[in-house]
Amino acid sequence: MNSIYIDSTISELRALHQQFHESAASHDTIIDYLTRQVDGIMREHARGNRAMVFHLACWCPPLIGTGAEHIMSITLSAEQAQTAVAREYGFADWQAVEALGSRSTDPVFEATVDLMLAGNLSALEQALQRDPDLCQAKSAFGHQATLLHYLAANGVESYRQVTPMNAVELCRCLIGAGADVNAIANIYGGSRTLGLVTSSAHPANAGLTDQIADLLIKAGAS
């Protein structure tokens, strides 16, 4: 099994949302997939599950920066849960999610993200050989992250903010396949991979920030 650095808070969320993120590569519409997450957040918040604090404190504007006790004491509205989920996936608001209509994610891209974040280098190499355009592809979610952006573990879906311990090799593979190190994702108003990885706690805690940043810089990242 490949070794992965996972923060304890993220680990709780991954366990809680297992049924959600396992279906991310399905042919569900984006709105159906995100609606299930809204329902789950509301249900678990009502049950007093404090794992919901991370979602709401990070992504729901009225609750950002407030304490856990306050977040768990309020009556969470559907609008608040919708806003949190929409923002987590890079959309301005829930109306932007609804505007997608029947649009779905790309199952190949989503599966490749998960294989990469599991540290499966050989699977990543095989996926890029089958479809060389994957290294330039962008997520169908609002943040439009590339595979490189996901490797930075910052500003994308909470449960995917993890760092495989072979992230340097994964990064080298993506760069070698032609990934754009200066591609901009709709994260924090517009971000490149270098800025995301150097400001993320996850690769830092894994002890890999400098090595990943060095690879990106040598490839022309700014």
Mode of pairing for the β-strands spanning 163-164 and 4-5: antiparallel
Q: How far is CA 60 from CA 11, 27, 83, 119, 200, in A?
A: 20, 27, 6, 31, 20
What are the tens digits of pLDDT across the range 23-63?
A: 444 557 999 989 988 998 999 999 999 988 988 999 999 99
User: pLDDT at residue 68 above 90?
Assistant: yes
CATH class of 106-218: mainly alpha
**Rounded Cα distance, 150 and 155, in Å:** 9
What are the tens digits of pLDDT across the range 131-171?
A: 999 999 999 999 999 999 999 999 999 999 999 999 999 99
For the chain, domain boundaries: 28-98, 106-218
Across the chain, mean pLDDT equals 93
Hey, which residues does 191 pair with through a beta bridge?
185
Helix (H) or strand (E) holding 86: helix 78-88
Q: Are 163 and 153 in contact (CB under 8 A)?
A: yes
